[in-house]
Structures are given as C-alpha cells and as structure tokens.
Amino acid sequence: MTVNLLDFDLEGLAAFCETLGEKRFRATQLFRWIHQRGATDFDQMTDLAKSLRGKLQTAARIQGLSVITQQESADGTIKWLFDVGGGNAVESVFIPEDDRATLCISSQAGCAVGCRFCSTGHQGFSRNLTTGEIVAQLWFAEHFLRRHLDTSERVISNVVMMGMGEPLQNYSALVPALRTMLDDHAYGLSRRRVTVSTSGVVPMMDRLGEDCPVALAVSLHAPNDALRDNLVPLNRKYPLAELLDACNRYLAHAPRDFITFEYCMLDGVNDQPEHARQLVELVRTHGISCKFNLIPFNPFPASGLLRSPQPRVLAFAKTLSEAGLVTTVRKTRGDDIDAACGQ
C-alpha cells in the first residue's frame, strides 16, 4: 500500500524519506514540489534523482480529494463539496475580499458537538478527516485558483478552520496540517492568518497553545451557562468559567493578543439587551482580551431558529462597542450557494 504524501508535514516527510534511504534536503525539495507547485506526478520533479523518483512511484502517491460539486456565488465566493468516501462529503469555501483571500476548511465529516444552530451538527458525526484530507482542501483550492485567476502568485492568504467539524476533537490530524500550512516550503501562511475555531475543548486548547499556537476563535454564542448548555452541549463538560480561563492561558502563546469570540445572533434566544450586558460583565470579570464577531444566523429548517432582525444585531453590537469591546458584524457571504456560516 502506498502512502499519501499529503498526510505528512515536513518532519513527517523527512522521516519517510529516511526510510527510503534519502537525506533530509530531498524531503524539502519534495515538499516544495507538492505544495508550492501543486505537482501530482513524480516525473515532473526534475531536480530529484531518477532513482528517488523510482522509489517514490512504488512507495508513495499524491492524492487529493474528488470534487463532487463546485458552486460560484455572485460575490465571488466559491464552495466545493469534496468526496471523502463511505458516502461522506465535506465542504470548503473560498471567500475573496479586497485585502485578503480566505479559505474555510473542514476538519471532520459531520460533527459530534451538536450545536443547535449548526447545520453540520444536525447531520451527526461520521468520522475524523486525515491530515491529508485537511491539507488536500488547501492544496486543491490554492492551485485551482492560481489557474482560474491565471497567476503564479499565492492566492490564499488566510485559512480558517471553521468548516464542518470541531477541529480540536481531531487534534492528531489537525496539528500536522497546521504545520504544513505555516511552513515556508509549503504555503508560508502567517500564524496570525491561520485561525482554529473551537466550541471550547479546554484540554486541547491548552495543548494547541503549546504545540502549534495560531489565532484562536471560540464559538461562544451565549453569555451564561444555562443558555450555553442549551445551544452548545459541550458547555456542560467545559462551562464558561473553565473556557474563559483556558482562553487567558492560550493568550500567553497566541500570535495575536486577543481571542475572537464568535456569537451567532438567534432571534429571541440570545440577542436581547440583557444578553449583551451579561457578555460585557463576563469578559470584564475574567479580564480577557477579546473581540466579538456577531454572525447573522443562516436559517435551516431542522433548527427551529430564526435570524435576529438587523436593527437588533446593530443595537447588540453598539452595547458591546460602547463598553470598549471591539465588535464586528460578519458580512454574510455566499448565502446564494448555501456557503455562509452555519450552512
């Protein structure tokens, strides 16, 4: 059985090359061919010795994911549905903006957390993605977009692990994927521009801070435990006080000096003035450096929930801002192709 080289970060690839009797610098050359040039055929790799190319052809492969569908929004957003086998599929979304180009990547087929407002959570959990399946989403999108936009320059500047799944419940596959994204011989992304989003898996937040600190976003969605228990069931295991303490510990390692709190605005559920006041009190009590990203809910039938009216979202944002908390309202992108957050 051949190994898929997309499963390796540079350290892993160097170890694999050693098993073939090859020196470390060969792994660096190979890594560049795969990730910087998007090569799939070892014969293309003309600066590798013919003997090494022969070994690779018998022992290894570079295998991406099959695209089931590609949809392009009127605003330039592109959504891909990738086949990961066994009847499962995952989505990635490319979001172009004036000052950045972001790829939203999935970490699991389905999700076990079961947040009430999340379409993926209602599907249930199938399996974790491998490192190669996580990296393959970036590998495909980056090289597709270079051809699509007719450029040799890097297209994707930011990655957010905010697609399907809870990244920190797939930790062993996530970390090598992050290291590949950050590696200058691969995608060379800044730690500040790679964001892991979590619903609050406290022990793994601590490990990520030690192993591979990148920007962190926390799916908060409620200002008190009673409401968060209902919206984000993981809160029953790691309640708000534990979660916010973990956020403060993470900041000691983080490349940014704040945590982003995601807050999905749900009509009549978590969008009242008292909820905004409770949020201000919560972060002040814990002394946490943060910014809030208010997300207009994208309704789907199984949720039984509705989007907060825009005036209420803006009033909520005003309360947070006037208390000195940096607050943004996420622009809804790609909702004409069901590519917006929570869909």
- Nearest-angstrom CA–CA distance, 273 and 217: 23
Question: Which of 115, 118, 290, 341 does the annotation list as catalytic?
Answer: 341
All residues at 6 or more sequence positions from 210 whose CB lies less than 8 Å from its CB, including other chains? 253
231: left (phi over 0), alpha (psi -120 to 50) or beta: alpha
- Angle made by CA atoms 222, 94, 115, in degrees to the nearest 5: 25
Amino acid occupying residue 121: G
Residue 290 is among the residues annotated as catalytic for this protein: no
User: What distance, in Å, lies between the first and last C-alpha atoms of the chain?
Assistant: 37
Q: Strand, coil or helix: what is 131? A: helix
Closest CA to 166 of 123, 233, 210, 106: 106
Strands 88-96 and 101-104: antiparallel
- Nearest-angstrom CA–CA distance, 63 and 74: 31
Closest CA to 216 of 178, 264, 172, 268: 178
Cβ(294)–Cβ(313) below 8 Å: yes
To the nearest 10 degrees (0 to 180), the angle between helices 131-148 and 171-182 is 30
| Residues 292-305 as b or e (16 or more Cβ within 10 Å = b) | bbbbbbbbeeebeb
Residue 341 is among the residues annotated as catalytic for this protein: yes
Cβ(254)–Cβ(206) below 8 Å: no
Cβ(198)–Cβ(235) below 8 Å: no
The tokens describing 28, both together, are 């660096």
Question: Which of 22, 91, 142, 262 does the annotation list as catalytic?
Answer: 91
Q: Report in angstroms the alpha-carbon separations of 249 from 202, 241, 291.
A: 10, 12, 16
Positions annotated as catalytic residues are 91, 341
